[in-house]
Homo-oligomer: A and B are copies of this chain.
Amino acid sequence: MEPMHTEGFRQLTKIEDAIRVFLEAVGKPKITVESIPIQDAVGRILARDVFAQSYLPSTDLSALDGYAVRSNDLRDASQTSRVVLRIVEESRLGEPCHLKIASGQAVVVATGSCMPKGADAVVMVEHASRLRENVIEVHSAATLGEGVTQKGTDFAPGRRVLRKGRWLRPEDIGALKALGLSKALVVRRIRVGVLSTGNELVNSQQTSKSAKIVDINRPIISAMVKELGAEPVDLGIARDEVREIRQALTKGLRSSDVVLVTAGSSVGKRDLVPSCINSLGRPGMLVHGIAMRPAMPTGLAVVNRKPIVSLPGFPVSAIVAFKIFVRPLLAKLSGFPMPAERSIRAVLKERIPGGPNLRTFVRVKVERVQAGFLAWPLKVQRSSSLTSMVDANGIVTIPESVGAIEAGEEVDVSLTGDI
């Protein structure tokens, strides 16, 4: 059992206060943009509103395979009152139509053909019979505009087609293409330095008997950085020595927009990261020790206008702290909100206790049942258990003011995996 304690911190800061102080100190970021080929732009953030410059379609088109007609001619057409029309031409797909039809005439059209002048409706093939080569008999009424896609239906000049800040989707790529664009102006990917610290860490396992531990924080954090559309920069492993940590942080501050450093974040004598950060520049550590579990020993800092997040060493804690603090940071730096996290409502199957005056994040397994969703708290909640994170597909948050959530209560579950 982990006893209730503040892990050596004299004072804990509430999560919202921590984020506010941190983001204020980060200041107004300089958003830089880049122009990239449209086909590479899915998942990127659009940097500027996109307006149409022309009409799409650029002229009236047939929306059906059939006959372009004057609707007036067919106002009273029916099975018992058939109307005979003469076919004067065919409007071929992809070719301009310079024709003009008069009363009693029709033009063969396909879906997407230009409408001839004078025509204001399309009769579908099934509503007409060919009497002779150039004569049809229509047995169904036509109304003005029926079967026609009007010029400018999709876009007209000046229409805002896409709003800046949008995370571009496949259909948006289609819209950009349809506007005649080949490049999109998107927010440059935020560069995020990822550093691990710890004498015990190695990049890969040598022997199973070794007392060394494979560093899993960098691969996990780097992958999470990519998921948020940013670009991880590998800063390697620093040993628990002031010189090494300072050197690696300095390199990170030079090469990246943000530095994330895992472990060494607490208040023990081996926890060198906070003092190293403070030694590098002002204002240094802004918040250290957060009223949350896991990830209490998280630190938030700014050095020479660049943000640094000191994440706890246990992977579970690092992951939770990333979700809570790095997401809003990257949103601020990129100038636009992150896409929402997936969440669902589920009924809690077992009571879960919170921590007094702490916000508690509980790993759960969500299952679909007849009536909705059930969430089971995983037995092992220690932050040292990576398995608990791997086995979980969701996280339930217990507010600071709540002692426990009882079995049977409905909760919001932030999904971390498929159900």
**Contact (Cβ within 8 A) A268 B213:** no
Chain B residues in 8 Å Cβ range of A143: 1
Asked if residues A94 and B201 are in contact (CB atoms below 8 Å), the reply is: yes
Residue A212 interfacial (CB < 8 Å): yes
What is the bound-complex CA distance between A201 and B222, given in angstroms? 41
A93 CB-CB contact with B under 8 Å? yes
Number of interface residues of A (CB under 8 A): 96
Nearest-CB residue, chain B, relative to A268: B65
A169 — which chain B residues lie within 8 A by C-beta? 223, 416-417
**Beyond A268-B65, A382-B63, is A95–B211 a contact (Cβ under 8 Å)?**
yes
Chain A binding site: helix, strand, loop or mixed by DSSP?
Answer: loop
Contact at B266–A65, with CB atoms within 8 Å? yes
State whether the Cβ of A167 lies closer than 8 Å to any Cβ in chain B: yes
CB pair A386–B174 under 8 Å, yes or no, is: yes
User: A199 contacts the other chain (Cβ, under 8 Å)?
Assistant: yes
Residues of B within 8 A of A340 (CB): 418-419
Q: Does A209 have its Cβ within 8 Å of any Cβ on chain B?
A: yes
A42 within 8 A of B: yes
Tell me whether A304 is interfacial, beta carbon within 8 Å: no
The answer to whether B211 and A390 touch across the interface, beta carbons within 8 angstroms, is no
- 30 sampled A-B residue pairs with Cβ under 8 A: A2-B63, A3-B146, A5-B126, A8-B65, A8-B126, A38-B219, A58-B209, A63-B382, A65-B269, A92-B199, A93-B198, A93-B199, A96-B211, A111-B268, A154-B385, A154-B387, A155-B387, A171-B220, A171-B315, A171-B389, A171-B390, A171-B416, A172-B390, A173-B216, A173-B220, A174-B220, A174-B315, A174-B389, A180-B204, A342-B342
- 6 more CB-based (< 8 A) A-B contacts, given A170-B224, A171-B315: A3-B146, A5-B124, A8-B125, A153-B382, A169-B416, A175-B386
